[in-house]
Chains A and B, each alone.
Chain A
Amino acid sequence: MQQDGTYTIAFDDPGEYDRDMLGGKGFGLVEMTRNGLRVPPGCVVSTHACRHYLNEGGLPASLAEEVLERLAQLERRTGKTFGTGPEPLLLSVRSGAPISMPGMMDTILNVGLGRSAAIALADATGDTRFMADVLFRFHCMYSETVLGGLDVPERAEFDEVFAELGTDSDAGTVYDKVWQWCQDRVVEDVGEAVPEEPRQQLLGAVEAVFRSWNTRRAVTYRDLHAIPHDLGTAVVVQSMVFGNLGADSGSGVAFTRNPVTGEPGLYGEFLSGSQGEDVVAGVRTPLPVQQMAETMPAVYEELAAVCARLESTHNDVMDIEFTVEHSHLYLLQVRAAKRTAQAALRIAADFVDEGIHSPGQALQAVTAEHIRHVQRPGFAPDEVAQARDDGRLLTTGVGAAPGQVSGRLTFDPSLAEERAKGGERVILVRHVTSPTDLHGMIAAAGTVTATGGSTSHAAVVARALGSTCVVGCSALEVDEQASTVRVGERVLRDGEPVSIDGGTGEVFTGELSTTEPAEEHTRLGELLTHAHSSADVDVLAKVTTPEQARRALAKGASGIVVGVDDVLAAAGLLAEVSKTLRGGGGRLDTARLESVLVEQFSALLAACPDVEVGVRALDVHADELAEVLDSTQAFVEHPQLALPLGEPELIKAQIRALATAAATVDGSTTPYLVVRNLTDPAEAAALRATRDELDESDRLVVGAYVTSPRGALLASEISAHSEMLWLEMRVMQATMFGIAPRHLLAREPLEGYVHSGLLGTDPRQQIDESVAPLLDSVAEAHANHPQCPAGVRLSAAVSEPVAATLYSHGFRRFSVDLDELAPCVLALGKAAFAESGTRREQATNGA
C-alpha cells in the first residue's frame, strides 16, 4: 500500500512523481501541464493501483471514491458535468505503462455517455447525428476493448441504423434506439452488456486497463524483452474536448515544419466546427492551418508560439494534434513528426544552419535509406510532359506503391517470370490479382490492375516487394486470354512498352527514360560535407564506363576503381577478346587484349583527370568471365590461367596498356593495377618484379587485391612488397561462411535462412566475428607499411553496421558501387561522430 494512501494524481498536482508510477503517457501529460502547455485536464491512476489489482484480484477499496473526487475536481476545472448537461464531461481512458508494449488495452473515448449526457451533447452541439455517432463509437470501443467482443459492428452499419430513425426523431429516441441496437449486438456476441451508468463505465474501463496487463500478447512481450511482470500499468483519465461546439471551436493537426518537403514554417490543417474524426473520414475538407490567422487570430498566435516552443524543447520537428474548444487551444497529442526522406535531409541540414543540431547530431537523424530514396531515379520531367502532350497517357488509376518504371506489357504471370529471367523489365497487367499471380508480381518491375483500391491485396503485395503498383484502372479492359488491353478505341498487345508511375497512378504507352533527381533541393550535399570532414575518408566509386566515371566524380567520389573484365564486358568486347586470348595455340595471345584496353582506358582516364584510378586485373574466376571464357576448358588448355600470376605476360600486357592509355591523356592521372586473389608475399614480390621488367615509362604502381583469409593474415608481409592493397569484404565474408559470394548480393537465399535462425550473423549486414582478426591484420599491415595504402571494397548496398565496424578498425579508404557513395559517406560520418563522442566522454570521465 502506498504511504499517503492515494492512487490518483491530477496532471497539475504539485510534488515529485516518476515515470514508474505514472507510466509513460501520464508522465508526459504531467510534464506538459507543468511546462504551461494546455492539455485537456485529467488525472492518472497510478501503477500502485494496478499492482494492488494484480496482487489482490480487485481494485483497491478506496479507489472508486478517490476517482469520484477527481471527477468533481475535473468538473470544477472544466465547467462541465459528468453524466449530464448542460455541457457533459466525457472522458478518454487509456493505458500507460512505464514501457510501452503491445497487447495492452489502447483507448476508450467518450466514457461517461449515459442517456442524460447524450441528450445534453446533442443539445450542446446542435447535432443529433453527431451524438448518435459518438454513442455508436463509444459502444463499439467499449464492447471490443473492455468486454472482448469480436463481432463489433462496422461503420457502415451505423449509417443503416441511423437512416432507419428518420430525421424528426428527438435526441432521447435516437439515444434509445442506437443504444439498444448496439446492446443487443454485444449481448449476443459476448453475453454481457455495456454499463449504462457513467460511473460504472469509467470504473469498468479502468479495470479493463489493469486486466490487459496480463493478456497473452503483453506477457509474451515482457518475457521477450525482460520487462518485470510486476511493473504494472497506469491509467490516464482525461477530459474530452469538443471542436464542434460552434464557430469558435475546431480541430486540426500542425507540424512545426512541412513533413513532406522539410520547408520551415508551420504546416497543417484546421477544420472549424469539427471533431478530428470528420477530417479523417473525409466528410469535410480542412483548410491550411494558416487560415486560423484570420478566423481566430489569438488562438493562431498561441498555436504558433506553442509549436516554436515544442520544437526547441525537443530539438526535433513535432506533429501536434489539437482541438480548439470555445477559443481555448488544447493539445491532444505531441510527438516527433514522421517525415519523407526528402524532408529528413532538408531538416537535418537546416538544423545545422540554425544551430539547433551539431553536424554529428544532424547526421544521426538521417539514414542511408533516406539517401537511397531521394537518389532513386524518376522519369525525366520533360519526357513526361511531352508524353502527356502527345496523348500517350493511357489512363490514370490509383497509385498504390511508388516508383516510376517502364517495361514490356505482359499479361501472364509465368511469362513475366520468364521474361524477367531473360533480363527484361516487365509490367504485369491483370484484371485482378490472386495469390497464384505472386511469382509474376515478384518478377515484374511493376504491376497494374483494373480493379481494387490502395488497400487491395495487389497493393499490399507490391509494397511488401518494394515494386511499383497502380491499381483501380477501371478504364482498362483486360483480356488475359487474348493478351490485349483496351482503353476506349486503343488496344495494346502483349510485349508493347508501357510506363507506370506508382505515385500518381498514371499509365503511359511507350518507354520513358529516367534521370536522377537534382541533389540541391534535398541539401544532401551539405550533410555529406559534414560527414566527409568528420570521417576524413577516401571513398572511391566502382565504375565501368567514362560516363559513370564522370557521374561518380560529380557526386564527390575521391577516385574510381574499375575491373578490366567489367570494362571489356561493358564495351561488348569480352567474348571476342577472350577468344583471341586463347587463340594463340599453346600460348596466350595478348595483343588484341592490349590494343582494346588502350582504347577503352584512354576514354576512361580522360573522364577522370587528377584523381586516383585503381584498376583490377582480369580475373578468370570472376563469374561473368568464367562463363564467357568457358573456364573449365580454358584451364585444360592454359592451366597457368587458374592462378593469379600464372601468366606474367597477361599482367604485363595490362600494365603496358594502362601506361599507354595514361600517356594519351593530358591530365596527371596515373592508374595502378591490382591483382586479385593474391595470398602470398612471394606473389606480391613477383608482381613487382614482373612490372620492373617493363620499360621505365610503363612501370605503373602495382599491388594486391586480397580476397582470402590467408591473404589477410599475411597482409603485413604482402604489403612489404606492394604499393597498394585492397581487401574485398564480400568474398572474405563468403569464404568464412563457405557460401558462394554471389549469394551475398541477393535477398534470397540468405534472407529466409537467417530468419529461420540458422545463422547468427547475416554476412550481408554485419561483419562476422571470425573476420574481425583478419581486419586487424590488414589494419596492422598498413600501420607497419605506410607506403602501401590499404582499402576495403564493399559490394552492393553498404550496411551501416559494416561501415562502422570497418571505421572502428581504422580503415579510411573504401570503394563502393556508384549509387552507394553517399550512403557510405553518411555511414562513415556517423561512425566518426560516434567515435569522437565516445572519446570526448572518456576524456571527461578521466578528468
Chain B
Amino acid sequence: MTVAVLEKQLYDVLNAVVLKKMADISAISEATARDDEDVKTAMETLGERSLVVMVGESAMPTDEAVAALVTAAAKHYDEVRQDTVIAQVADKFEAVNQRFLEAMSAWQQVDVGGRKVANDHQDSSYDAKIIDKMDKLVSRLNRQLEVLAERDPRFGTYSTRFDRAMCLVEGGEIDYVSSPTLDSLHNIWFEFHEDLLRTLGRARKE
C-alpha cells in the first residue's frame, strides 16, 4: 500500500516536531503559525500514521518521520525548487550563515595569543560588538525570510522567534545567544537552516 503524501498542514506540523525532536503543542503552534486546535488535530492524524508519538505532553517523531517529510517536500516545493529567486536566497544564505557561525564562535571563544579560550563574558564591549554583528546578520536573514515567507508563510515564524531571542539577549539574558536548550539565536538559526535544506532538497555541508 502506498502511503499518501503528507498534506501541507501535516507537513508543517511534522516538520516542526522533527526539528525540535521533542516539543509541546504551543511550541509547534508557534513554529507553524497555526492555532493549538489545528496542531492537535494534525498531531492525532500523524499519530495514527505512526509518524509521531506522544510522550506525556510532548510530541516526538518516529523513525519514519524524516523519510515522510523528504518525500512530501519534493512534492510541495517542486515549484519553489525551480524558482531562481529562491535559489538566489539560498545561495546568499550560505554566505550569511558562514558569518553568523563565525560570530557565534567569537561569542563563545576569544583569541588569546593565538589560542582559543572560552569567553568569560567579562568584557562587555567585546560582547556588545558581537551582539551588534549578530543583530545585523539576523536583519539580513529577515529580509531573506520575507522572500521565503511569500512562498510559504511558515518561514515568517522564524523572524518572530529571532525578535524575541534578540530582545532577551539585549536585556542581558545572554544564554539566548547560543544555548542549545533554549529558543536561542543559534537554535532558531540552526532549525531554519535545516528547514531550508529540506525545503530545497539540499544536503547539509557541515
Contact = CB atoms under 8 A, between A and B. Distances in A.
Interface in B88-137: 92, 95, 98-99, 101-102, 104-105, 108-118, 120, 123-125, 128-129, 131-132, 135-136
Nearest to A224: B171
Interface in B128-169: 128-129, 131-132, 135-136, 139-140, 143, 167
Contacts of A457: 101, 186, 190, 193, 206
Interface in A754-794: 755
Interface string B171-192: 1110100111110101100110
A343 B101 CA distance: 28
Given A224-B172, A258-B113, A456 B132 contact: no
A453 interface: yes
B180 A442 contact: yes
Interface stretch (A39-47, A101-109, A586-594, A705-713): A101-109
B140 A464 contact: no
Contacts of A432: 204-206
Contacts of B101: 455-457, 460
Contact of A451 (B92, B170, B205): B205
Nearest to B105: A455
Given A151-B140, A464-B186, A259 B112 contact: yes
A452 interface: yes
B124 A100 contact: yes
B73 interface: no
Interface in A425-479: 432, 434-436, 438-439, 441-442, 449, 451-461, 463-465, 471
B33 interface: no
A698 interface: no
B192 to A, nearest CB: 10
B103 to A, nearest CB: 9
Q: Is the interface of B mostly helix, strand, loop or mixed?
A: helix
Given A106-B129, A151-B140, A458 B206 contact: yes
Contact of A438 (B21, B115, B125, B132): B21
B129 A452 contact: no
B178 A150 contact: no
Contacts of B115: 260, 340
A102 B172 CA distance: 12
Contacts of A255: 113
Contacts of A269: 114
Q: Is the interface of A mostly helix, strand, loop or mixed?
A: mixed
B68 interface: no
Given A451-B205, A451-B206, A441 B180 contact: yes
A459 B114 contact: no
Given A102-B170, A260-B113, A460-B101, A434 B108 contact: no
Interface residues of B, number: 60
Contacts of B140: 150-151
A618 B90 CA distance: 63
Contacts of A15: none
A695 interface: no
B58 to A, nearest CB: 12
B170 A460 contact: no
Nearest to A336: B123
A259 B194 contact: no
A259 B173 contact: no
Contact of B179 (A268, A339, A464): A464
B18 interface: yes
Contacts of B136: 144, 150
A752 interface: yes
B19 interface: yes
Given A457-B101, A458-B206, A752-B182, A267 B108 contact: no
Contacts of B108: 460, 463-464
Contacts of B18: 436
A748 interface: yes
Nearest to A189: B143
A150 B173 CA distance: 26
B80 interface: no
Which among A150, A258, A455 has the greatest number of chain B C-beta atoms within 10 A? Answer: A455
A755 B173 contact: yes
B170 A217 contact: yes
Contacts of B116: 402, 454
Contacts of A127: none
A160 to B, nearest CB: 12
Which among B101, B140, B178 has the greatest number of chain A C-beta atoms within 10 A? Answer: B101
Given A259-B113, A260-B113, A435-B190, A150 B139 contact: yes
A460 B181 contact: no
A269 B113 CA distance: 9
Contacts of B74: none
A154 interface: yes
B135 A217 contact: yes
A312 interface: no
A260 B112 contact: yes
B22 interface: yes
A458 B204 CA distance: 12
A217 B190 CA distance: 24
Contacts of A442: 180-181
Interface in A380-438: 402, 432, 434-436, 438
A752 B183 CA distance: 11
Nearest to B20: A435
Given A260-B112, A338-B117, A442-B180, A434 B139 contact: no
A439 B187 CA distance: 13
Contacts of A101: 128
Nearest to A457: B190
Contacts of B205: 432, 451-452
Contacts of A154: 95, 99
A452 B98 CA distance: 11
Contacts of A441: 180
Contact of A459 (B66, B105, B179): B105
A465 B171 contact: no
Contact of B98 (A103, A367, A455, A463): A455
B178 A102 contact: no
Contacts of A106: 129, 132
B43 to A, nearest CB: 18
Contacts of A151: 92, 140, 143
Interface of B: 18-22, 61, 66, 92, 95, 98-99, 101-102, 104-105, 108-118, 120, 123-125, 128-129, 131-132, 135-136, 139-140, 143, 167, 170-173, 175, 178-182, 184, 186-187, 190-191, 193-194, 204-206
What 3 pairs between A and B have smallest CB-CB spacing?
Answer: A452-B206, A102-B128, A455-B101
Given A338-B117, A339-B117, 11 more contacts: A102-B128, A102-B170, A106-B129, A150-B139, A268-B113, A338-B111, A435-B21, A455-B104, A457-B190, A471-B206, A748-B181
24 contacts: A100-B124, A102-B131, A106-B129, A144-B136, A150-B139, A151-B140, A217-B132, A217-B135, A224-B170, A224-B171, A267-B113, A268-B113, A338-B110, A338-B112, A340-B112, A434-B194, A435-B187, A449-B206, A452-B206, A457-B186, A457-B190, A460-B105, A464-B186, A752-B181
